[in-house]
């Protein structure tokens, strides 16, 4: 695809990257892969897993406001692990010493269910949940570049799904839903539904 965009440029991101002239084919292909995984894989799995949870809770008709989407992101945390980081100096966290140079990562689901940060973190609260500060998109300079787009996609996606298919519900028992516990992005492998 990268080579075809060089041969026949169009009005798209990959053609624009070629036109800039600062990147080679491997770098552009790497960026395209990153965009596909980060920009599609996470949102698609969040839509599937969130729809499953909303249907199981009988909450298909909840108004998809920003706080509801934030609470779903906190509770479901489809990325399992944050990026790897090396400690710049010795530091103690929760009684554990991390030595300078040691590589660490965080468990995003554990951080998003931290009882010191979130009251009743094991409960999905779509009415009063104040999930400000969830880390599904990372934080600070390492925050996902597409976080605002993903939030909009989730609000629109859930609203459109449940408006277009009123009465949508899961068609099988929970144990028949294959969860993506074998992948780095959590979700459902498939979700049979009826309406």
- Write the pLDDT tens digit of every residue in 41-68: 899 999 999 999 999 999 888 989 899 9
Q: Alpha-carbon distance 128 to 150, whole Å?
A: 22
Residue 151 has pLDDT above 90, yes or no: yes
What per-residue confidence (pLDDT) applies to 115? 93
Q: Is the pLDDT at 37 greater than 80, yes or no?
A: no
- 89 CB-contact burial (10 Å; exposed 0-12 / middle 13-18 / buried 19+): exposed
- Which residues face 85 on adjacent strands? 104
Domain that holds residue 42: 2-194
Q: What is the pLDDT of residue 129?
A: 63
Stated as kind and residue range, the H or E segment containing 104 is: strand 103-104
Q: Give the Cα separation of 120 and 168 in Å (integer).
A: 29
Which tokens go with 113?
Answer: 């269910």
What CATH number corresponds to the domain at position 39?
Answer: 1.10.630.10
Token pair belonging to 188: 């459902």
Q: Centre a 10 Å sphere on the Cβ of residue 133 and count the other Cβ atoms it contains.
A: 13
What residue ranges in 35-90 does DSSP mark as E strands?
A: 85-86
Please give the share of the chain, as a percent, with pLDDT higher than 70: 98
Chain segment 122-150, per-residue pLDDT in tens: 999 998 765 678 999 988 887 888 899 89
What backbone torsions phi and psi does residue 103 show, to the nearest 5 degrees?
A: -95, 135
Number of domains within the chain: 1
Cα separation, 2 vs 97, whole angstroms: 45
Q: How far is CA 12 from the centre of its chain?
A: 24
Residue 140, both tokens = 């600070």
- 3-state SS assignment for residue 152: helix
């Amino acid at each position: 695809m990268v080579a075809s965009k060089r041969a026949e440029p169009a009005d798209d991101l990959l053609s624009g990257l070629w036109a800039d002239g600062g990147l080679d084919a491997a770098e552009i292909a790497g960026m395209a892969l990153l965009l596909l995984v980060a920009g599609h894989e996470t949102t698609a799995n969040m839509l599937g897993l969130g729809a499953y949870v909303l249907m199981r809770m009988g909450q298909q008709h909840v108004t998809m406001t920003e706080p509801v989407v934030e609470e779903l992101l906190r509770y479901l945390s489809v990325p399992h692990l944050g990026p790897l980081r090396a400690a710049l100096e010795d530091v103690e966290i929760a009684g554990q010493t991390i030595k300078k140079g040691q590589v660490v990562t965080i468990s995003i689901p554990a951080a998003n269910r931290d009882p010191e940060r979130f009251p009743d973190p094991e409960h999905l609260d779509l009415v009063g949940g104040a999930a400000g500060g969830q880390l599904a998109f990372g934080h600070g300079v390492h925050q996902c570049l597409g976080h605002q787009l993903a939030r909009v996609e989730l609000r629109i996606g859930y609203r459109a799904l449940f408006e277009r298919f009123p009465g949508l519900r899961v068609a099988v028992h929970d144990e028949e839903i294959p969860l993506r516990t074998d992948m780095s992005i959590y979700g459902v492998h498939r979700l049979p539904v009826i309406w």
